[in-house]
């Protein structure tokens, strides 16, 4: 293997002393990395927790076919990014790939903007775990006592508990993270099987919905025209399948990165799509009255569990599976976010980069980068005390930011004729019209999802009904632009090359064996 992963570097000659050698330990195996990626997607959990998005916006038809459309399009995006990952396996991911394919005069600025958008998307995404978990815990209380109304402080306490626990596991459990990821994978798949079997068996007495209901029933409670309402239902599938670029940001911690990374990225989306589709079918066939599910105080997922089983105790026990999955997801998302912030700081992309690019000598993790993730997430939780709508704006902004970061390198690669990626013998590469078609579908989807996530879920009637996520995202753009003019323009020259010692790959093979 050559002494470098990369065939070219955007850094200049005087930057040579700053070239990077991987500082993170390669603890992950292929299975543990697949487990980490799947734990981050947590597709069936995200789908069940976000039923309140799609059921009023298109009903069962939007739930089922929206996931199919989102799954196919996300596979196209994942395959498009896998081309880059095969040739440039670096924790920087998208901002590094943008630097590879961008014209030289625009490279630093485009790479900088992509890096900031990607970093903000991952920090915002960490908040989704605690937010969804707080809703599930409140749902349990509402199921036990229909008159119960949660206070903002109670929801905040669950949010903080999830975030702090995820932070502690990341800081003090770096050695066991691969085992943690494998267990998360097993737990998640087991949850799908146990819940599906229980619901199907229990619903034999209460009856199932018809296939026509599951596959064609349309509902529109949004106030939008039917076409827009159904399209908004796509957001559930998009949320459930976002975050697969985690494989790229963790790639420096697995062996045989160029060969295994692209496979893991695509496998994660495929597994998420298949398990999510099967689980949604079970939920819809066992649903009961859709109007009761939509309006249930305990939330759609618990309402379906209770309708099917007739037991509050069994319903709560079943909910433990997605609730624990959310803890796994919050932990692994925080892991990925910290690696992304660490990599971007290593390339001088953030203020105080020298502080956030440090690996703790004893804990062997980027503790400061973990703090840079956890502290803003905890501060965002304070919005519970003001308005949950404002917090939801940050959650929507995470999908907007990640979708745009996926489209960034793919769009530049397409606009430059798909000539910047050379391809390798063992790497993943799409040739001819296949590459153009896959890139085109992925870009169209990323653009459409970005536009849809900026719309409010229903026709706004008051200022409180407005979707504030565009404002949040605009804030990220403004801050990154100001940072560029104040510091980045003189300091940031793009990502540096990661050097691999001769013989290191062979040593990894021996260790893996």
Return the higher-pLDDT residue of 12 and 410: 410
DSSP state at residue 486: I
Integer Cα distance of 402 and 188 in angstroms:
23
| Mean pLDDT score, 46-75 | 87
- Over residues 77-116, the pLDDT tens digits come to 999 998 888 888 887 888 989 988 888 888 889 999 999 9
User: CA–CA separation, 187 vs 5, rounded Å?
Assistant: 35
Question: Band of the pLDDT at 11, cuts 50, 70, 90?
Answer: very low
Bridge partners (DSSP) listed for residue 498: 20
Tokens representing residue 224 in the block: 């939008």
HSE (CB half, 13 Å, CA atoms) of 218? 9
What span, in angstroms and rounded, lies between the C-alpha atoms of 456 and 134? Answer: 22
Q: Answer whether residue 15 shows pLDDT above 70.
A: no
The length of the chain, given as a count of residues: 513
pLDDT value of position 152? 83
Highest mean pLDDT among 17-21, 46-50, 334-338 belongs to 334-338
**DSSP codes joined into one string, 358-409:** PPPTTT-S-HHHHHHHHHHHHHHHGGGGT-HHHHHHHHHHHHHHHHHHHHHH
Q: What is the pLDDT of residues 414-456, one digit of tens each?
A: 988 888 776 554 567 788 888 899 999 999 999 988 888 888 8
Q: What confidence score (pLDDT) does residue 360 get? A: 83
Q: Is the pLDDT of residue 24 over 60?
A: no
Res 36: pLDDT: 66
109's CB contacts (< 8 A; 6+ apart) are 484
Helix (H, G, I), strand (E, B) or coil at 429: coil
Mean pLDDT in the chain?
81
pLDDT of residue 460: 67
With CA atoms as reference, report the closest residue to 30 among 181, 173, 176, 191. Answer: 181
What is the percent of the chain with per-residue pLDDT over 70, rounded to a whole number? 85
Q: Which two tokens stand for residue 129?
A: 């775990």
Least confident range of 12-26, 267-281, 333-347, 478-492: 12-26
Q: Does domain 30-421+432-491 have CATH number 1.10.10.10?
A: no
DSSP secondary structure string for all residues of 97-143: HHHHHS-TTTHHHHHHHHHHHHHHHHHHHHHHHHHHHHHHHHHHHHH
The region, left, alpha or beta by phi > 0 then psi within -120 to 50, assigned to residue 29 is beta
Tell me the pLDDT tens digit for each residue of 360-399: 888 888 899 999 999 999 998 888 777 766 667 777 888 8
Domain boundaries, the chain: 30-421+432-491
Question: Measuring CA to CA, how many Å separate 169 from each of 172, 223, 334?
Answer: 6, 44, 10
State the number of CA atoms in the 13 A half-sphere of 401 facing the CB: 29
pLDDT band of 513, cuts 50, 70, 90 = very low
Whether residue 46 is predicted with pLDDT greater than 90 in this model: the reply is no
pLDDT value for 427 = 65
Q: What is the pLDDT of residue 201?
A: 93
Q: What's the pLDDT at 34?
A: 67
Binned at pLDDT 50, 70 and 90, residue 356 comes out as confident
Contacts of 100 (CB under 8 A, 6+ apart): 8, 10, 84, 88, 409, 420, 421
pLDDT exceeds cutoff 60 at 497: no
pLDDT range class, residue 22, cuts 50, 70, 90: low
pLDDT given for residue 433 in this prediction: 87
How many CA atoms, within 13 angstroms, populate the side-chain half-sphere of residue 439?
22
Assess contact for 41 and 269: CB atoms under 8 A. yes
Rg value, the chain, Cα: 22
Q: What is the pLDDT of residue 162?
A: 92
The answer on pLDDT for 131 being more than 90 is no
Token pair in block for residue 267: 């496998």
What angle (nearest 5°) sits at the alpha carbon of residue 34, between those of residues 326 and 123?
Answer: 45
Comparison of pLDDT for 399 and 252, the residue scoring more: 399
Q: Which two tokens stand for residue 306?
A: 């209770």
pLDDT per position as a tens digit, 304-353: 999 999 899 999 999 999 999 899 889 988 988 998 899 888 888 888 88
Residue-wise burial string across 21-57, b where 16 or more C-beta atoms lie within 10 A, e elsewhere: ebebebbbbbebbbbbbbbbbbbbbbbbbbbbbbbbb
């Amino acid at each position: 293997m050559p002494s470098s992963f990369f065939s070219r570097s955007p850094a200049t000659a005087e930057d040579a002393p700053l070239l990077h050698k991987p500082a993170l330990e390669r603890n992950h195996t292929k299975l543990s990395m697949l487990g980490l990626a799947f734990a981050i997607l947590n597709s069936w959990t995200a789908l069940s927790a976000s039923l309140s998005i799609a059921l009023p916006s298109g009903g069962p038809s939007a739930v089922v076919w929206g996931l199919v459309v989102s799954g196919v399009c996300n596979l196209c995006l994942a395959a498009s990014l896998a081309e880059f990952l095969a040739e440039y396996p670096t924790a920087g991911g998208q901002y590094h790939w943008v630097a590879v394919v961008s014209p030289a005069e625009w490279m630093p600025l485009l790479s900088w903007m992509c890096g900031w958008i990607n970093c903000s998307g991952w920090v915002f995404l960490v908040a989704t775990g605690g937010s969804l978990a707080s809703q599930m815990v409140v749902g349990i209380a509402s199921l036990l006592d229909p008159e119960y109304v949660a206070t903002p402080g109670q929801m905040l306490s669950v949010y903080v508990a999830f975030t702090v626990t995820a932070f502690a596991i990341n800081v003090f459990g770096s050695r066991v993270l691969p085992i943690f990821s494998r267990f998360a994978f097993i737990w998640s798949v087991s949850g799908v099987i146990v819940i599906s079997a229980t619901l199907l068996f229990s619903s034999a007495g209460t009856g199932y919905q018809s296939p026509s209901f599951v596959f064609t029933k349309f509902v529109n409670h949004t106030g939008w025209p039917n076409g827009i309402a159904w399209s908004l239902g796509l957001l559930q599938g998009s949320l459930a399948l976002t975050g697969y670029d985690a494989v790229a940001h963790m790639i420096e911690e697995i062996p045989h990165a160029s060969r295994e990374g692209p496979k893991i990225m695509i496998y994660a989306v495929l597994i998420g799509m298949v398990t999510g589709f099967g689980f949604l079918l079970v939920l819809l066939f066992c649903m009961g009255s859709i109007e009761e599910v939509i309006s249930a105080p305990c939330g759609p997922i618990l309402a379906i569990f209770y309708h099917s089983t007739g037991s509050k105790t069994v319903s709560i026990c079943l909910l433990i599976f997605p609730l624990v999955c959310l803890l796994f997801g919050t932990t692994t998302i925080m892991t990925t976010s910290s690696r992304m912030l660490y990599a971007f700081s290593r390339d001088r992309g953030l203020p105080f980069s020298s502080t956030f690019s440090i690996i703790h000598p004893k804990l062997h993790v980027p503790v400061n980068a973990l703090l840079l993730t956890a502290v803003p997430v905890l501060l965002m939780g304070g919005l519970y005390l003001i308005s949950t709508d404002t917090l939801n704006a940050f959650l929507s902004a995470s999908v907007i930011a990640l979708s745009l970061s996926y489209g960034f390198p793919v769009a530049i690669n397409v606009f430059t004729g798909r000539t910047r990626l050379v391809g390798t013998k063992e790497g993943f590469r799409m040739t001819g019209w296949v590459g153009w078609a896959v890139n085109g579908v992925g870009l169209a989807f990323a653009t459409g999802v970005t536009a849809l996530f900026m719309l409010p879920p229903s026709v706004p009637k008051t200022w409180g009904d407005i979707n504030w996520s565009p404002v949040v995202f605009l804030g990220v753009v403004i801050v990154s632009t100001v940072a560029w003019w104040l510091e980045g323009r003189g300091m940031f020259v793009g990502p540096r090359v990661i050097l691999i010692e001769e013989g290191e790959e062979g040593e990894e093979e021996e260790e893996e064996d």
